[in-house]
């Protein structure tokens, strides 16, 4: 990904779309895992009632970000995208680490998609920085 690549903006928009799809996949797989086990009690604590409200805000940001990236080219906005992307990436990594430290989510195959989400966040962050550094868009 070259800094002079005129497609950085598209890569960032597509990256946010892909992160949203992976987020939805993670949520669906957790629900499916609970349905198969016949035990949804883990959702009382995480996300819980307040967490559901937070997830709605997260989903709205995921939905809006690709459209905003494609619509707004201002230099300040490009750096805001970098900050928001870093924030989201660190938020999900911290969430995963919290589960591991608490011992309430042991390593299993579903962690593979969580890990992919973290890697994708880092990749989109790099692309967002390159887009923000571009002189011309």
pLDDT in tens, 82-105: 999 999 999 999 988 888 888 776
Residues 67, 16: Cα–Cα separation, whole Å:
10
Cβ pair 121, 91 in contact under 8 A: no
Confidence grade of residue 4 (pLDDT, cut at 50, 70, 90): low
Q: In this structure, is residue 125 part of a structural domain? A: yes
Average pLDDT, the chain: 90
Residues 2, 114: Cα–Cα separation, whole Å:
27
Residues 128, 4: Cα–Cα separation, whole Å:
13
pLDDT in tens, 46-71: 888 899 999 999 999 999 999 999 99
Q: In this structure, is residue 36 part of a structural domain? A: yes
Q: In this structure, is residue 3 part of a structural domain? A: no
Q: In this structure, is residue 2 part of a structural domain? A: no
Residue 49: which domain range? 8-133
Total domain count, the chain: 1
Residues 88, 75: Cα–Cα separation, whole Å:
20
């Amino acid at each position: 990904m070259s800094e002079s690549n005129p497609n950085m903006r598209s890569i960032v928009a597509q990256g946010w779309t892909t992160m949203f799809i992976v987020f939805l996949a993670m949520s669906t797989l957790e629900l499916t895992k609970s349905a198969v086990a016949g035990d949804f009690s883990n959702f009382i604590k995480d996300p819980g009632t307040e967490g559901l409200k937070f997830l709605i805000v997260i989903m709205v940001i995921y939905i809006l970000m690709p459209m905003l990236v494609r619509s707004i080219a201002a230099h300040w906005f490009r750096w805001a995208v970098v900050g928001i992307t870093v924030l989201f990436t660190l938020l999900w990594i911290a969430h995963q680490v919290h589960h591991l430290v608490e011992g309430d989510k042991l390593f299993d195959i579903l962690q593979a998609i969580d890990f992919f989400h973290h890697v994708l966040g880092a990749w989109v962050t790099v692309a967002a920085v390159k887009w923000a550094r571009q002189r011309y868009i």
